[in-house]
């Protein structure tokens, strides 16, 4: 199983079929934006609960002002005033007007509201200088949402607009899928945690910080650990983190070299491996399995390989655990500014930068010798499917967007 090389699609499908789905939790409506609804939601009320005015102005019988204009105004007696939150204390009769403010309930007998800008206040009378057909400037009861109407479907990612609709529907608490708690373990005798004193020959754990940033950007809690290449340390750390975390990512030790211990330790712990090595570049040495029912991803240690295996396989799976679509990187069509080469035997990924030139969205591969600078400067990723050996200049291609 370990040495079976999978194509990207098969590896991702196998991963998504094995991951657990997180249980639901209840959040206040104002805290659920960008979370995934764990249930269908139905309005508890009509909103608005009463037929109300959309404008400050005058409630009228539309037939009384059917021919009103600036040249031929209509004068009506004003018999009362109604504001938002009040109940009208009188019924509108034929040939009368009631002063009404935005959000106030429409009085019985009224069929339209003339906006204030087309009126002249004369104290106990009002001069109407515009007509108003039935329903003008009126928001009918239940127009925004009706009692019993479905407002959210299970599985929807809740945007800001959803939260307002949910609140208007009389719902103050929302069932959403819980976000997983993710642990990231960087292994290597040469790896330093950020803040540790530097020593010659050492490397700061840039991969650890990068992956954590991608997860934290999406609201996911992350625990970061740096340990030496010692099987006992790896074993103890994995065993400890399994108690408190839902997913574990290991960085380094994924190739089965002389000092690559992560996979061996997981075997000893009794994990259920599902694959090791995927036909992608960079990022081939990625393994996935379950231990005590929890997903574990073993990622390669080289920065581009580490990030690409994470973005293309681990991140989609982690988000899918909370109900998100397994496509965390949006795509856009862009014009390729120069020819790029692919590979016969694997899906190739190339860091790139988006720009707008002469009204066209363009994408250019990044070719700096610095791996980390390419990763930092990239705003897109060019994906060249397995078997396609070249993408020509001026081709319009789909690219993944990095944020």
CA pair distance 105, 175, nearest whole angstrom: 33
For the chain, give the mean pLDDT: 95
Residues 277 and 378 in one domain: no
Beta carbons of 11 and 287 less than 8 angstroms apart: no
Look at residue 298 and tell me if it is in a domain: yes
Q: State the DSSP H helix or E strand holding residue 373, giving kind and residue range, or none if neither.
A: helix 371-377
Look at residue 3 and tell me if it is in a domain: no
Residues 134 and 153 in one domain: no
Residues 160 and 130 in one domain: no
pLDDT score for 257: 64
Looking at residue 353, which CATH number applies to its domain?
Answer: 2.40.340.10
Residues 70 and 125 in one domain: yes
pLDDT score for 1: 45
Residues 31 and 172 in one domain: yes
CA pair distance 129, 395, nearest whole angstrom: 60
Beta carbons of 347 and 280 less than 8 angstroms apart: yes
Look at residue 2 and tell me if it is in a domain: no
CA pair distance 144, 377, nearest whole angstrom: 44
Last residue of a domain, one of 320, 339, 365: 320
With the C-alpha atoms ordered 314, 318, 321, 325, is the resulting torsion angle positive or negative? negative
Residues of the chain above pLDDT 70, percent: 98
Strands 182-187 and 247-251: parallel
CA pair distance 22, 20, nearest whole angstrom: 6
Measured CA distances, 238 to 157, 289, 350, 372, 385 (Å)? 32, 13, 32, 28, 35
Residues 187 and 264 in one domain: yes
- Residues 279-303 pLDDT 10s: 999 999 999 999 999 999 999 999 9
Last residue of a domain, one of 320, 351, 376: 320
- Residues 139-176 pLDDT 10s: 999 999 999 999 999 999 999 999 999 999 999 999 99
Question: Please, which pLDDT band fits residue 129 given cuts at 50, 70 and 90?
Answer: very high
Last residue of a domain, one of 177, 195, 224: 177
Provide the number of structural domains found in the chain.
4
The average pLDDT across 118-127 equals 96
Look at residue 272 and tell me if it is in a domain: yes
CA pair distance 349, 367, nearest whole angstrom: 13
Residues 147 and 164 in one domain: yes
- Residues 234-276 pLDDT 10s: 999 999 999 999 999 999 987 766 567 899 999 999 999 999 9
Among 4, 283, 81, smallest CA distance to 297 is for: 283
Residues 156 and 211 in one domain: no
Range of the domain at 254: 8-22+179-320
Look at residue 366 and tell me if it is in a domain: yes
pLDDT score for 220: 98
Looking at residue 94, which CATH number applies to its domain?
Answer: 2.170.190.11
Looking at residue 173, which CATH number applies to its domain?
Answer: 3.90.105.10
Fill in the DSSP letter of residue 37.
Answer: B
pLDDT score for 259: 66
Residues 250 and 378 in one domain: no
Residues 335 and 213 in one domain: no
């Amino acid at each position: 199983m370990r040495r079976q090389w999978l194509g990207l699609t098969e590896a991702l499908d196998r991963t998504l079929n094995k991951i657990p789905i997180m249980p639901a939790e209840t959040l206040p409506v104002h805290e659920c934006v960008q979370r995934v609804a764990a249930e269908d939601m139905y309005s508890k009320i009509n909103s608005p609960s009463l037929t109300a005015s959309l404008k400050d102005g005058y409630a009228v019988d539309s037939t009384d002002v059917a021919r009103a204009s600036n040249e031929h105004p209509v004068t009506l007696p004003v018999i009362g005033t109604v504001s938002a939150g009040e109940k009208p204390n009188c019924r509108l009769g034929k040939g009368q007007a009631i002063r009404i403010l935005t959000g106030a309930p429409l009085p019985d007998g009224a069929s339209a509201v003339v906006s204030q800008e087309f009126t002249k206040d004369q104290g106990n009378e009002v001069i109407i200088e515009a007509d108003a057909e039935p329903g003008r400037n009126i928001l009918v009861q239940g127009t925004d949402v009706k009692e019993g109407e479905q407002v959210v479907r299970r599985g929807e990612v809740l945007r800001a607009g959803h939260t307002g609709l949910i609140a208007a529907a009389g719902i103050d608490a929302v069932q959403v899928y819980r976000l997983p708690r993710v642990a990231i373990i960087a292994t290597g005798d040469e790896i330093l945690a950020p803040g540790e004193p530097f020593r010659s020959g050492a490397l700061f754990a840039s991969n650890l910080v990068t992956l954590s940033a991608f997860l934290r950007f999406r609201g996911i809690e992350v625990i970061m650990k740096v340990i030496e290449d010692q099987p006992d340390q790896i074993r103890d750390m994995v065993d400890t983190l399994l108690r408190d975390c839902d997913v574990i990512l290991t960085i380094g030790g994924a190739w089965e070299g002389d000092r690559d211990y992560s996979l061996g330790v997981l075997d000893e712990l009794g994990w259920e491996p599902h694959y090791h090595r995927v036909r992608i570049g960079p990022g081939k040495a990625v393994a996935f399995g379950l231990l005590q029912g929890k997903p574990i991803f073993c990622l390669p240690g080289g920065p581009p390989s580490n990030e690409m295996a994470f973005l293309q396989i681990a991140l989609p799976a982690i988000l899918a655990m909370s109900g998100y679509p397994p496509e965390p990187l949006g795509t856009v069509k862009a014009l390729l500014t120069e020819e790029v080469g692919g590979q016969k035997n694997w899906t190739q990924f190339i860091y790139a930068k988006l720009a707008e030139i002469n009204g066209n969205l363009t994408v250019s591969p990044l070719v700096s010798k610095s791996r980390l600078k390419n990763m930092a400067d990239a705003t897109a990723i060019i994906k060249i499917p397995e078997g396609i050996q070249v993408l020509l200049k001026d081709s319009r291609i789909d690219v993944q967007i990095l944020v």
